[in-house]
Amino acid sequence: MLRQVLRLKRWVAITSRADDLHLLGEGSIGQAVRLRISEGPDPREFLAAYDSDRRFTLSIIAPCPQCAAPVPTVRIGSMADYGDWLNSAPNLAESPHYRTSPAHRGDCPLPRE
């Protein structure tokens, strides 16, 4: 899915592992999947999981603007979304896992859902 969304060439390596902090979906016993692209100067990680409406989502893992912990911040639904994120565009779609992520620091001031 990540390869399709970002239109990655076949030679771009994507590694995957179970995410220790996030569930695959609400009420799920399975773990979400952490995907990593190591090409280029800055490796990128994504969270692959289902949102509360059971839709598959990809979210970029980046520092929380409030506590700096690496959390799923922005929903990436297309190569354009990823480009907008790389260019720090305003009004990007928040990841459905952003406010509920257990990866936030305990003192994070972000309002939780």
pLDDT, tens digit (0-9, with 9 covering 90-100), for 20-40: 999 898 888 889 999 999 877
Question: How would you class 76 by CB atoms within 10 Å of its CB: exposed for 0-12, middle for 13-18, buried for 19 or more?
Answer: buried
Question: Is there a domain that residue 109 lies in?
Answer: no
Question: Is there a domain that residue 112 lies in?
Answer: no
The 10 Å CB-count burial string (b at 16+, else e) for 61-72 is: bbebeeeebebb
Residue 87 CA to residue 84 CA, distance in Å, equals 5
Residue 52 lies in domain: 2-86
Q: Is the pLDDT of residue 113 over 80?
A: no
pTM for this entry? 0.88
Question: Is there a domain that residue 45 lies in?
Answer: yes
Question: Is there a domain that residue 98 lies in?
Answer: no
* Residue 36 structure tokens: 């990593």
In tens, the pLDDT along 44-83 reads 999 999 988 888 999 999 999 999 999 999 999 999 999 9
pLDDT at 28: 81
Question: Is there a domain that residue 6 lies in?
Answer: yes
Question: Is there a domain that residue 96 lies in?
Answer: no
Residue 81 CA to residue 47 CA, distance in Å, equals 15
How many structural domains comprise the chain? 1
